[in-house]
């Protein structure tokens, strides 16, 4: 975990090493709030480090390490509220916001950091892939993955991209296009993905989803588009255009249940037109990406 430890001054680094010990594989987040104890979130519980309370100097050091002493080059990421670092880890940031004409211009006085540990879990989609593949036409069903925060939606869809783009059993690989608006799926740095997304997978990194979908279709002619966290009206319109262009889609959305989706105004067109052939509902367990149930296009339970 050198990519993580290099972010800290020596006293914080030693405190984190002592707290985590041999539990790096269970580590989910390290939350740093200036002048407050450190919060360490594991799969099964949350623990605190009371012995160190980061100060302004520690925060500046962390920012410099994240940006490699060149914050001005990361203005877009800072405005979005996160920076992706080597290894695919993502550091969320918060503080005082500067606005211009009602829009976020920049983050100033950054005093809160959330280091989310990237975990590539290969093979976690193998149990559900047969339910997402239509053998009658040798293509994938349009699929929506539904889950609350921290249920592992991104982890699961990352593995789905890898398997579809590489092939599995007697199923040949497909051309996959990933629209990675927040650099979470591939965790690309300078355009190079830090995670394995498959042999035939192309990635549009840090691009707005609605624009990126059509750009990817025009430039790379994918068989399957993979998008994380849809929700806006623009996302829905772009998805409809992609489907009319003959592309299959796999995407995720925040939600607790199937009923909750019906209450989302932006999704009415997708649901009314039966765009999705499969709905995959995730549940929060210690293992990310745990699938609770799968429904068909008529929202009838077919697995789980």
What confidence score (pLDDT) does residue 267 get?
85
DSSP 246: T
Percent helix, strand and coil across the chain, each to the nearest 5 = 30, 30, 40
Mind giving me the DSSP string for 248-283? EEEEEEE-SSHHHHTT-GGGHHHHHTT--SEEEEE-
Mean pLDDT by 10 residues, the chain (304 residues): 93 97 94 98 93 95 82 68 83 86 74 91 94 95 93 94 95 97 87 93 94 96 96 91 95 92 85 93 85 95 94
Q: Quote the DSSP letter at residue 68.
A: T
Q: Report all structural domains of the chain as residue ranges with CATH numbers, in order of start.
A: 2-116 (3.30.450), 129-303 (3.40.50.300)
Tell me the C-alpha distance between 280 and 215, whole Å.
27
Assign 284 to helix, strand or coil: coil
Residue 133, pLDDT score: 97
What is the rounded CA–CA span in Å between residue 209 and residue 264? 19
Provide the sign of the torsion angle of the four alpha carbons 82, 83, 89, 95, taken in this order.
negative
CA distance linking residue 228 with residue 178, whole number of Å: 9
Task: Quote the CA–CA distance of 57 and 133 in Å, as a whole number.
Answer: 53
Residue 253 has a pLDDT of 94
DSSP codes, 221-235: --SEEEES---SHHH
């Amino acid at each position: 975990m050198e990519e993580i430890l290099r972010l800290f001054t020596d006293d914080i680094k030693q405190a984190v090493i002592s707290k985590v010990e041999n539990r790096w594989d269970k580590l989910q987040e390290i939350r740093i709030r200036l002048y407050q104890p450190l919060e360490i979130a594991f799969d099964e519980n949350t623990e605190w480090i009371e012995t160190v309370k980061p100060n302004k100097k520690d925060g500046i050091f962390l920012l410099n390490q994240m940006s490699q002493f060149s914050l001005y080059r990361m203005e877009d990421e800072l405005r979005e509220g996160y920076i992706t670092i080597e290894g695919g880890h993502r550091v969320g940031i918060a503080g005082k916001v500067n606005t211009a004409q009602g829009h976020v211009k920049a983050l100033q006085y950054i005093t809160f950091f959330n280091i989310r540990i990237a975990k590539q879990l290969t093979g976690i989609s193998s149990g559900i892939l047969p339910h997402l593949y239509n053998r009658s036409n040798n293509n994938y069903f349009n699929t929506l993955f539904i889950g609350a925060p921290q249920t592992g939606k991104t982890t699961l869809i990352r593995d789905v991209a890898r398997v579809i783009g590489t092939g599995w059993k007697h199923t040949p690989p497909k051309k996959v296009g990933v629209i990675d608006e927040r650099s979470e799926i591939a965790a690309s740095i300078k355009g190079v993905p830090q995670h394995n997304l498959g042999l035939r997978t192309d990635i549009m990194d840090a691009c707005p989803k609605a624009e990126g979908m059509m750009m990817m279709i025009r430039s790379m002619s994918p068989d399957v588009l993979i998008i994380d966290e849809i929700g806006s009206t623009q996302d829905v319109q772009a998805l409809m255009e992609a489907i009319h262009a003959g592309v299959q889609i796999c995407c995720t959305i925040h939600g607790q249940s199937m009923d909750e989706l019906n209450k989302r105004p932006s999704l009415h067109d997708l649901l009314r037109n039966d765009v999705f052939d499969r709905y995959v509902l995730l549940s929060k367990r210690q293992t990310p990406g745990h699938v609770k149930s799968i429904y068909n296009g008529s929202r009838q339970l077919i697995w789980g």
